[in-house]
Chain A
Amino acid sequence: MYGSILSYGQYRYLKQAAALVLIALLLYLSSSPGEAPNGGTWQGYTLGGISAALILFLLWFGIRKRQYHCTETTLFRWVSAHVYLGISLPVVVTLHCGFQFGWNVHTLAYGLMVFVVLSGFYGLYAYLVYPEALTANRCGISRREMITTIARLDDTCLALAENLGAEAHHKVLREVVETRLGGTLWQQIIMGASLPVLPLFQWKFAGNFVASEQAGLNVKDQSAEYFLRRYLQESQNKVEIQRVVELLKVLNERQFMVSRVQRDIRYHAFMKCWLLLHVPISCALLAAVMVHVISVFFYW
C-alpha cells in the first residue's frame, strides 16, 4: 500500500542521492586542473568528510533498526534512504580518493566498502524478489501444514510399501528417513536445489536438455523410485502393478511437497544470509576508516 523500498515517497531518496552525487562531481571537477585530484586538496577533504558522514549514517541504521520505541519515522523510510545513500557512497568515495589505489590500509577500506555495497545490492535484490516467490510457493498454506502433509504421506507410502515385500519397504523407509529439511545455513540453501540456485541465472540452464540430464542424475540406483520402476517392468501381477503405480503416485506427491518445503526454507535463507556478511564487514569498514583517518592526519 505504500509502494516499494525504491519508490518510497515518490523516489525522494533517489533524488537526494542523485543531488549528492552531482555535488560531489562538481567538487571533483572544480579542483585545480594542474594538480592531480586526491584526498589532500580542500575538495578532497570535503568529499572525505561527506563520505565519512555517509558511512556513519549508514551504520547508524543498524542502531535505529533496534530503537523500537521511536515510531515517528518508519523503518521503511530509513531503508529507502539507506539504500540510495549507500549506492551513492562508492561514487563519492571514488571521487574522494581521486582514483588512487595501492596496497595499503586506505585501499583496504575502499575494498571493504565495495564489498559492503555489493552485499547490500544482493540484499536489495533478495528483498525485492523472494517475498513474492515465497508467497507463490506457499499457496496460502503454512510451512507447518506442508510438513504435516509430508508426515501423512510418509505413513501412506510406508503402508503401501509394506504390501510389496521387504526390499520395497526398506527402500521407501530409507527415503523417508533420509529426507532432511533445513539444517545449517548452507544446507538450507543447497538442500534439494537444482544448481545453480539463483533464479537470476537459472534461465540459462532452462530447457529440456538440462532438465532431462538432471533427471538422469537424480534417479540413482539407490532411489525407491528407480527400484519401483524396475519392479513395474518385471512384474506381471495386475494387483501388484496397481499397488506400485499407486505408491509411485504418492511418492511423487511427497517429493513435490518436500521440494516445496525445501524451497520455502531456501528462500528464507536467501533473505537472511547476506546480512551475516553485510553487517560484520560494515563494522570492519568502520575500523578501517578510522585507521585511514588517523593515519592520514598523523603520518601523512
Chain B
Amino acid sequence: MKNPVCSVAIVGGGPAGLSAAIRAAETGLSHVLLEAESHLSNTIHRFQKGKYVMSEPVKLPLRSSLAFEAGSRESILDAWTSEAVRLEVNVRRNSPVKSIAGEDTGNFSVELADGTTVSAANVILALGLQGQPNKLGVKGEDLGFVDYHLDDPDDFNNKVVVVIGAGDSAIETALALAEQNRVIIVNRRDGFHRAAAGNRNAMLEAIADDRLECFYNSVPRFIEEQDGRARLVLEASGETSEILCDRIIARLGARHPRAFLESCGITFSGDETTALPMLNSQYQSTVQGLYVIGSLAGYPLIKQALNQGYEVIEQIRGKPVSPVEEELLLDKFTGVPGFATVDEILTKVGGMGPIFGSIDALPLRAILLESRILSPAPGTAIFCHGDYSDSFYSILCGEILIQLRENEPELIVRLNASEFFGDTELISGRRRTLTAIAGENCILIETPRLAIKKLSASNQTVAETLEIAAVERSLRWHLIPGLTENDFKTLEDRVTCHNYETGEILFQEQAYGDSIFFLRSGAVTVTQTMDGREVPYRLVTAGDYVGGWGALAVSVRRATACAQAVTSTVEIPGEDFRWLVQQYPELLRNVHSNILTHHVGKTEAAQQNGEVISFLMEQGLGEATDVLLIDESICIRCDNCEKACANTHSGTSRLNREAGPTFASVHVPTSCRHCVQPHCMNDCPPNAIHRASSGEVFIQDTCIGCGNCVQNCPYGVIHLTSDKDENKPSLWARLLFGFDEAAVGGTGSGCHKKAVKCDMCKDLSGGPACVSACPTGAAFRGNPKDILVELKEEASCTDQY
C-alpha cells in the first residue's frame, strides 16, 4: 500500500524541524514530522536537568511560530510540546529515518527503520549533528540498563557502572562517573590508542591509581537481567567472565549524519570533517526539493534553527521571505555607497577576488554577518607591530600601507582593492609583525580569525590562495624585506611548504642538510646531544627560522630541530639561500648574529636546564603564549594564588595549584596557557571565546554553557560553573581563623552554568592576581620564550662557578 503524498516530510524534531512542522500545521500545509526518539528535541532533552538555555545571538530577531526565550530546559520543552499538540502537528515518534529515495521535487520516498515508507513532495532534513549512536550489537542491547550516552554524571552515585568503548567519549564518561561510582571500562583492544593524548594519559593514570578498573581485549557477548541488576557476560582474552552492575553505558561512536546526507545525493563542500552540505540561500541542497537546516546545515544555535524552519516552509508554500539575517547584513553596509541591496552586496563582495569570489551565496552571507565593515580615516593604524589582534582584512576599496619593519617606517608595501592582509597572524596565531595603515577612501571588511579558518578548511580555493600569499609574504615581507619581484620569481618555484605534527623532526643532528626553514606557524625546539643526552637549548616560534648554520656552513647539521606544536614551514634550499645571502647582505648579518646568540657551551648546567625545557615542552609550552609556573622550592602552599583568583573572579578559582606535574621543583599548575591557536575556540556555537589585543584568551558573557570548549581544551583548564553567592566571611573571621577557602572549578551550584577560565586578569591594571598575591614570589607568569631565556641565563650564571 502506498501512503498518500504529503507536501513536506520533516526529518528530526529538534528546534529546526519542529519550527518547520509548526509553521506547516499553522498554514495548513500537509506534512509529517518524523522523530527518531519517543520525545521531541532530543538534543535539548539531553541537556542537564534545569539547564538554563540561552537565546544567543541576542541581536538576531526570532522569526518562527514557535516562541523561544531564554529559560530553563524544562519550560522550553514543555511549551514546545504543548504548542505542537495545540496546532495538531502530525508527529510520528519513534520513527528513525533510514533512507530517502528520489531525485526531484514531488517524488521522495522516505523509508523508516521499521520498513514503512512515507511519500513527500519535499523533504526537510533537520537531524542535528548528534548522529545515531552505534549499538552494541549483542542480545540485550536495548534493555533498560543500557544507555548510549551520559547526560549528567551526578545522576549516578555509589553505583556499579560498566562503560564500553575506548574512544574519547568513553574515557570522558568513565572518568566523570568514577568520581562517585565504581566504574569498569570494557575495552576491545589492549590500549587506548584511538583517544586523544590527554584523555589517554588521564585514563591510564586513573587505572594505575585504582580509581577505575579496566578489562582489556574484552568483547561483550550478551546482557540479561538478574535480580533487578544487569549481568554483562563478556569474553576477556579468550575466557568468559561476567560483571554484575547497575548500568551499562556504551560509547561506541555514532554514525555521522554526513554519510546519511550523501546517501540522499547531497554534495558537500569538501572532504574535511568541517565541510558543510552545499546549500543555496534558501537552504535547498544540491537535490531539488531536499532542504537542510539547523545545526546540520552549520548553524549551531537554537534561534537560527527556529528561523530556518519557518523560512523553508514559506519557501515551499511559494511565499518566500528573505532570511532575517539579511536585514542585519544591510545594517552592516549602511552608509557604504553602492551597497544598498543584499544582491548588490553579495555580487560586489563575491566579485572581489579569490577569497570571497570562491564561496557560494549562503556561506558568503554567513561570513559577512560575522564580519565588520570599517571605513578608517586616512592615516589610522588598523593594527600595529606587536598587537595581539588576529582578524583578517579584505580591502573593499581604497589603499592600505603595510610597514614591514617597526624601526624602518620607509619600508612600505602598498595594497589595493580586492587584496587582503592580516593573514600571517591568522596562520601563526602570534603577535602582529607588521603595521597596517589606512590610505585614502579606504573601506575594509574585518573578518574574525575563526570564520576565515573555517572557510579555508572547507574551501580548497581559499586555502590555496592563502598558501600562495603566505609563501610570497614569508619571503618578501618577513625574511628578506626588500626582496625584488624578480628575485622572488626565481625563488618561487624552488621553495617548498611543509606541515609537521608535534614531535616530528625537521632535521637531525649529524645528518647532511643545508636548507633553512622559515616558520609560518607553530614552534620548534633546537636540541644538541651532550654525553648521549638530547639537550634542548632554544625555542623557535613563528616568524623566525631554523637551519641557518647548516645552510651557510654546508656541512652536517649541528643540532636537531623538532616540532613542539603543529608547525608549518617554508623551506629554502641551501644553494638558493647562499645566493640570497650574497644579494642581501643584511640577511647574512642576521643569520650570523642568530648563530652567535644561541651558541651554547656543553656544560652540566646546560644539561640540567635542557631537561627542564624538555619537561616544559611536554606540558604544552610549545604552543603557549603565556603560562603560569610555580617554583616549588619556595612555594609555601598557602593557596593564596587560588584565593586571589577566586576573589577576583566571582568566587571560583580558575587555577588549580596542586594539580599538574612537577619536575625539578618547576611546577606547572592546571591553568590556561593562552595557546597560540586556542583549541577551546574551535567549536564554540556563539563564538564567545576571543583573544584580547594584549593576548589573553577569554570567554565572553554570551557563552551558552554547552561545554564544547571544556572538551576541546587539552589542558583541562575550563570549567562549567555558576557564579557563587558573594557571602564572604567577615574580615575578622578570615584574618583570625583563615576562613577564606578558594573553590577550584565547577563547584558553583545552580543551573545557569557558563564556561569559565583564566583571563589573565586582563581588567586589572597590575596584571594577574595569582602572581601578585604570592607572598614568596614562587608564582610567575610569562611567555615561554622568555622563560627559557631566563632559565638559560640562570644556567650560565651557575656555569661561572
Answer yes or no: are A and B bound together in one complex.
yes
Q: What 1/0 flags go to A111-144 for Cβ under 8 Å of B?
A: 0000000000000001100111011001010101
Name A5's closest neighbour in chain B (CB-CB): B776
- Complex CA gap A142/B661 in Å reads 9
Question: In the complex, are the beta carbons of B636 and A79 less than 8 A apart?
Answer: no
Residues of chain A within 8 A (CB-CB) of B647 are 66, 68-69
Kindly state whether residue A178 has any CB partner on chain B within 8 Å: no
| Alpha-carbon separation in the docked complex, A151 to B208 (Å) | 12
**Complex interface: stretch among A169-177, A214-222, A246-254, A275-283:** A275-283
Q: Is the CB of A131 within 8 A of B775?
A: no
Whether A65 contacts B776 in the complex (CB less than 8 A), given A1-B631, A280-B736, comes out as no
Q: Which residues of B contact A275 (CB under 8 A)?
A: 738
Please give me the residue from chain A that is nearest to B737 by CB atom: A276
Q: Which of A46-54, A70-78, A99-107 contacts B (4 or more CB under 8 A)?
A: A70-78
Give chain B residues whose Cβ lies under 8 Å from the Cβ of A1.
631, 777, 780, 790
A135 touches B665 (CB 8 A): yes
Give, as a whole number of angstroms, the nearest-CB distance from A265 to chain B. 11
Q: Which residues of A contact B638 (CB under 8 A)?
A: 271-272
Looking across the interface, which residue of chain B has its beta carbon closest to that of A8? B777
- Interface membership of B761, Cβ < 8 A: yes
CB distance from B69 to the nearest CB of A (A): 35
* A130 touching B772, Cβ below 8 Å: no
- For residues 424 through 442 of chain B, which have their beta carbon under 8 Å from a beta carbon of chain A? none
How many angstroms between the C-alpha atoms of A4 and B773 in the bound complex?
15
A120 to B: closest C-beta gap in Å: 13
Q: Which one of B33-41, B260-268, B763-771 contacts A?
A: B763-771
Q: Are B769 and A152 in contact (CB under 8 A)?
A: no
A73 vs B769: C-alpha distance when bound (angstroms): 10
User: Complex Cα distance A75/B640, Å?
Assistant: 10
- Residue of B whose beta carbon sits closest to that of A155: B210
Q: Which residues of A235-268 are within 8 A (CB) of B?
A: 268
| B633 close to A (CB within 8 Å) | yes
Chain A contacts for B219, CB-based, 8 A: none
- Total A-B Cβ pairs within 8 A: 118
Residue A62 interfacial (CB < 8 Å): yes
Contact A151 B634 (CB under 8 A): no
Chain B residue nearest to A151 in the complex (CB) = B210
The closest CB in chain A to the CB of B768 belongs to A71
Shortest Cβ gap from A225 to chain B (Å):
25
Q: Within 8 Å of chain A (Cβ to Cβ): is B632?
A: yes
A63 in the interface, Cβ–Cβ < 8 Å?
A: yes
Which residue of A5, A65, A275 has the most chain B CB atoms within 10 A of its CB atom? A65
Q: Mark B526-555, 1 if CB is under 8 A from A, else 0.
A: 000000000000000000000000000000
Rounded to whole angstroms, the CA-CA distance of A279 and B790 in the bound complex is: 37
Whether A4 pairs with B776 at a CB distance below 8 angstroms is yes
> How many Å from the CB of B616 to the closest CB on chain A?
14
Which chain B positions have C-beta within 8 A of A213? Answer: none
- Chain B residues near A298: list those with CB within 8 A: none
**Least CB distance, B588 to chain A, in whole angstroms:** 36
- How far, in whole Å, are A270 and B500 apart by their CA atoms in the complex? 50
| Inter-chain contact B662/A271, CB cutoff 8 Å | no
The reply to whether A68 and B648 contact each other, CB–CB distance below 8 Å, is yes
Docked pose: A134 CA to B662 CA in angstroms = 12
Interface string of B657-696 (1 = CB under 8 A from A): 0110111010000000000000000000000000000000
Contact of B764 (CB < 8 Å), options: A71, A76, A134, A268 = A71
- Which of A62, A70, A131 is B636 in contact with, Cβ under 8 Å? A131
Shortest Cβ gap from A236 to chain B (Å): 37
How far apart sit A130 and B647, CA to CA, in the bound complex (Å)? Answer: 27
Question: Is residue B143 contacting chain A, with contact meaning CB distance below 8 A?
Answer: no
Contact B634 A4 (CB under 8 A): yes
B774 part of interface (Cβ distance < 8 Å): yes
Interface string of A1-23 (1 = CB under 8 A from B): 11111001000000000000000
Cβ of B648 and Cβ of A69 under 8 Å apart? yes
- Tally of B interface residues using CB under 8 Å: 45
CB pair B636–A65 under 8 Å, yes or no, is: no
CA gap between A9 and B659 in the complex, in Å: 31
Please tell me if the beta carbons of B633 and A131 are within 8 angstroms of each other in the complex: yes
> Among the listed B643, B738, B767, which residue makes an inter-chain contact with A71, where contact means beta carbons less than 8 Å apart?
B767
A268 to B658, CA, bound (A): 13
Q: Are B637 and A79 in contact (CB under 8 A)?
A: no
Give CA–CA (A130, B776) in the complex, Å.
13
B209 within 8 Å of A by Cβ?
Answer: yes
A73 to B790, CA, bound (A): 22
Interface status of B374 (Cβ within 8 A of chain A): no
Q: Tell me how far the C-beta of B95 lies from the nearest C-beta in chain A, rounded to whole angstroms.
A: 49
A135 lies within 8 A of B661 (CB)? no
Interface check A148, CB cutoff 8 A: yes
| Cβ contact within 8 Å between B734 and A66 | yes
**B640 to A76, Cβ gap below 8 A?**
no
Min CB gap B698→A, angstroms: 17
- Residues in B neighbouring A78, C-beta threshold 8 A: 775
B325 contacts chain A at the CB level, 8 A cutoff: no
The verdict on B172 contacting chain A, using a C-beta distance below 8 Å, is no
Asked if A35 lies at the interface with its beta carbon under 8 angstroms from chain B, I say: no
A140 near B663: Cβ-Cβ < 8 Å: yes
Given A70-B766, A71-B766, A148-B210, the answer on whether A76 and B774 have CB atoms closer than 8 Å is yes
Residues of A within 8 A of B469 (CB): none
Question: In angstroms, how far is the closest chain A Cβ from the Cβ of B646?
Answer: 8
User: Which of A75, A140, A151 is packed against the most chain B CB atoms within 10 Å?
Assistant: A75
Task: Check B735 for interface membership: any CB of A closer than 8 A.
Answer: yes
Look across to chain B and name the residue whose beta carbon is closest to the beta carbon of A142.
Answer: B658
Bound: A144/B206 CA distance, A: 12
Per a CB cutoff under 8 Å, which of A65, A131, A140 touches B634? A131
Other A-B contacts than A127-B775, A279-B736, 13 sampled, CB-CB below 8 A, are A1-B780, A65-B773, A69-B648, A71-B761, A72-B765, A73-B772, A75-B775, A132-B633, A134-B632, A135-B662, A148-B210, A268-B637, A283-B735
Query: 4 tightest A-B contacts by CB?
Result: A71-B766, A72-B766, A2-B777, A76-B777
B interface with A by C-beta (< 8 Å)? 209-211, 631-638, 640, 643-644, 647-648, 658-659, 661-663, 665, 731, 734-736, 738, 740, 761, 764-769, 771-778, 780, 790
Please list 12 pairs of residues, one from A and one from B, whose beta carbons are closer than 8 Å in the complex, sorted by A's number. Answer: A69-B647, A69-B764, A71-B766, A71-B767, A74-B773, A75-B773, A76-B772, A76-B777, A134-B637, A135-B633, A140-B661, A142-B658
